[in-house]
Amino acid sequence: MRGPHNIWRLIRTGATFERTGAMGVILDALEAPRSVRIAFRTLVYPFRWLGIEGDPTMPPAPRALSALGPAYIKFGQILSTRPDVVGIEIANQLRVLQDKLPPFGIEKAKTQIESELRLSVDEVFSEFSAPVAAASIAQVHRARRADNGQLVAVKVLRPGIERAFRTDIDAFYFMAHSIETLSPASRRLRPRDVIAHFESVVMGELDLRLESAAASEFAANTAGDDGFQLPSIVWGLSGRRVMTMSWAEGISLGDNEKLDAAGHDRVALSERVLQLFLNHALRDGFFHADMHQGNLKVAANGDIIAYDFGIMGHIDEYTRRVYAEILYGFIRRDYKRVAEVHFEAGYVPADRDVDAFARALRAVGEPIFGMDASHISMARLLSYLFEVTERFGMETRTELILLQRTMVVVEGVARSLNPHMNIWDTAKPVVEDYIKTSIGPRAAIRDLMQTARVLARFGPRLPTLVEAALVRQAEEEVCRRASKWRGRIGWALGGACVAAAVATVLASLA
């Protein structure tokens, strides 16, 4: 770590948080004790004038992060997926970060492309526009291929963005360490682990080959989904710093006036966007984790088009089954089964009372089901569920956080299209279908066949593997006992030496 740089960045960050009013919000989210609050305010307030004022129309937390630059904006976006860390209220506020920054010049973009692809932009593209969108990490240009006339979107990383992010990530680690040192209570939120998660996400986004691969896998999984399409990757014109894909032409899913003018059925679109997400999450275990209106369009034929694959979610088969059973239990209002699923999955400690947990879940679900369809909210359900599970000792399930956050975002998109949408009625057929195919008798037979196939692969080696495992276990037991006896012998020899020394001293005195 570079001390002087990190100390200066820490001062500038603290001053900006104090000046924008975000300092108090963050300390509240961390549940910092009064002594820590006083210490932070005392240290930061004299430097308040060094802080950046930011946009006064924004809430304090996103205002401070957007003022501090690209890395902080991206950090805020990722924190918006972690309500377990910052709380649901701040997570919702951070979702307003639009990641809009001034674009860099078209000549710099061309230089980046030519350096990466080792091809002349003017030879490859017959048309190449000014930036049509600019974000913290990259910007997008509209272009036309010279060889076949295909209209494409060319995504180009900002010049020097890797170095800038690494510098700020270095400072983030320094800040996390400082927070943990000054506020031991904050350690339960694992600030350094949060920074490590941020680093892994950002380093992935800084290699556009990984985003291209994610888009390709997503397209393969969803090829048979009616009413859904994705841009195709042009692999020959893509690399680490450049990604080229077919142009997605359509109306933004957030522009209701244009959707109505074009004759699109917003009720059908609202149901489809929710069911598509649930299908991708439950059926494939691989889903678009940033499905807000800015990343969704409606084609002329009514298909939903998704793009921007920088943040994708993945959940394994077992977690998908647990999540489906929890959703299905709430849909059927079978709170005892929802409670049992939590215990079976090990989410809630086994020493807790399953019946008490079921009653707590009923207190979560029943008030929501009693509401009018337009007020039934998945966001509200998940918020209450967080509170109840925490009270019963459930640790944060990081594999579910991104899934739950995306579910809330998708619900918001669906409701913006149809405020009277019934979330449960729309989700029910997808969840029921998954339950039938993945948890019933057919699924059990399929699991047994899969186990048999795995055993068959190792069949001839199984006796050797079992024998080796037993020998290794026996060796470990022998080593453990030998270590135990070595300790006893050591104590005995030590005692004998001490006794001999004492006897010698006594003899000399005599």
What does the domain layout of the chain look like in residue ranges?
3-100+166-202, 106-158+207-247, 313-439
Please report which helix (H) or strand (E) contains residue 12, including its range: helix 3-20
Sorted by sequence, the CB contacts under 8 Å of residue 26 that are 6+ apart come out as 17, 61
Structure-block tokens of residue 6: 């990190």
Instruction: Collapse the DSSP code of 459 into the 3-class scheme (helix H, G, I; strand E, B; otherwise coil) and give the result.
Output: helix
Comparing 417 with 84, the larger pLDDT belongs to 417
Structure-block tokens of residue 82: 């972690």
What mean pLDDT is predicted for residues 455-464? 67
Q: Which segments of 93-194 are extended strands (E)?
A: 125-134, 138-145, 151-157
Backbone φ and ψ of 312, nearest 5°: -120, 150
Q: Write down the pLDDT at residue 323.
A: 81
Q: Is the dihedral of CA 115, 117, 123, 125 positive or negative?
A: negative
Q: Is the pLDDT of residue 104 over 60?
A: yes
Lowest mean pLDDT among 111-115, 432-436, 473-477, 497-501: 497-501
Instruction: Collapse the DSSP code of 95 into the 3-class scheme (helix H, G, I; strand E, B; otherwise coil) and give the result.
Output: coil
What mean pLDDT is predicted for residues 357-369? 82
Helices (H), 280-316: none
232 closest CA partner among 244, 249, 250, 240: 244
Number of helical (H) and strand (E) elements in the chain, helices listed first: 22, 10
Sorted by sequence, the CB contacts under 8 Å of residue 160 that are 6+ apart come out as none
Q: Is the pLDDT of residue 227 over 70?
A: yes
Percentage of residues in the chain having pLDDT higher than 90: 25
Q: Is the pLDDT of residue 372 over 80?
A: no
What mean pLDDT is predicted for residues 57-70? 81
Comparing 195 with 207, the larger pLDDT belongs to 207
Kind of pairing between the strands at 138-145 and 151-157 = antiparallel
Residues with catalytic annotation? 290
Q: Is the pLDDT of residue 275 over 80?
A: yes
Task: Give the model's confidence band at 385: pLDDT under 50 very low, under 70 low, under 90 confident, else very high.
Answer: confident
Q: Is the pLDDT of residue 162 over 70?
A: yes
Work out the mean pLDDT of the chain and round it to a whole number: 79
Q: Which amino acid makes up residue 252? A: S
DSSP annotation string for 461-483: GHHHHHHHHHHHHHHHHHHHHHH
Tell me the CATH class for 106-158+207-247.
alpha beta
- For the ranges 57-66, 94-103, 444-453, the maximum mean pLDDT occurs at 57-66
Task: Give the model's confidence band at 288: pLDDT under 50 very low, under 70 low, under 90 confident, else very high.
Answer: very high
Task: Give the model's confidence band at 433: pLDDT under 50 very low, under 70 low, under 90 confident, else very high.
Answer: confident
- For the ranges 4-13, 129-138, 429-438, 493-502, the maximum mean pLDDT occurs at 129-138
CA–CA distance, 501 with 496 (Å, rounded to integer): 9
Q: Are the C-beta atoms of 272 and 259 separated by less than 8 Å?
A: no
Q: Are the C-beta atoms of 364 and 385 separated by less than 8 Å?
A: yes
Q: Which amino acid makes up residue 463? A: P
CA–CA distance, 176 with 79 (Å, rounded to integer): 14
Q: Write down the pLDDT at residue 272.
A: 94
Q: Write down the pLDDT at residue 198.
A: 73
Q: Which segments of 265-320 are extended strands (E)?
A: 286-288, 296-298, 304-306, 312-314
pLDDT tens digit string along 303-318?
Answer: 999 988 888 888 888 8
Q: Write down the pLDDT at residue 501.
A: 46
Helices (H), 345-419: 354-369, 378-391, 398-417
Q: Write down the pLDDT at residue 505.
A: 41
Q: Write down the pLDDT at residue 502.
A: 43
Q: Is the pLDDT of residue 495 over 90?
A: no
Sorted by sequence, the CB contacts under 8 Å of residue 153 that are 6+ apart come out as 132, 140, 141, 142, 143, 231, 244, 245, 246, 247, 248, 307
Comparing 264 with 482, the larger pLDDT belongs to 264
Lowest mean pLDDT among 3-7, 99-103, 120-124, 462-466: 3-7
Sorted by sequence, the CB contacts under 8 Å of residue 182 that are 6+ apart come out as 36, 39, 40
What mean pLDDT is predicted for residues 201-217? 88
Q: Is the pLDDT of residue 258 over 60?
A: yes
Task: Give the model's confidence band at 114: pLDDT under 50 very low, under 70 low, under 90 confident, else very high.
Answer: very high
Distances (CA, A) of 388 to 3, 28, 382, 395, 407: 42, 20, 10, 12, 19
Q: Are the C-beta atoms of 179 and 168 separated by less than 8 Å?
A: no
Q: Write down the pLDDT at residue 116.
A: 93
Q: Are the C-beta atoms of 115 and 106 separated by less than 8 Å?
A: no
Lowest mean pLDDT among 6-15, 252-261, 334-343, 345-354: 6-15
Structure-block tokens of residue 409: 């975002």
Lowest mean pLDDT among 39-53, 262-276, 354-368, 428-442: 39-53
Note the pTM of the prediction, 2 decimals.
0.72
402 closest CA partner among 485, 285, 254: 285
Residue carrying structure tokens 């947990």 = 357
Q: Write down the pLDDT at residue 509.
A: 43
Q: Write down the pLDDT at residue 298.
A: 94
Instruction: Collapse the DSSP code of 125 into the 3-class scheme (helix H, G, I; strand E, B; otherwise coil) and give the result.
Output: strand
What mean pLDDT is predicted for residues 336-353? 86
Backbone φ and ψ of 379, nearest 5°: -60, -45
Q: Which amino acid makes up residue 40? A: F
Q: Is the pLDDT of residue 497 over 60?
A: no
Q: Write down the pLDDT at residue 506.
A: 42
- For the ranges 260-264, 424-428, 499-503, the maximum mean pLDDT occurs at 260-264
Task: Give the model's confidence band at 300: pLDDT under 50 very low, under 70 low, under 90 confident, else very high.
Answer: very high
What mean pLDDT is predicted for residues 112-135? 91
Q: Write down the pLDDT at residue 140.
A: 94
Partners of 312 in beta bridges: 288
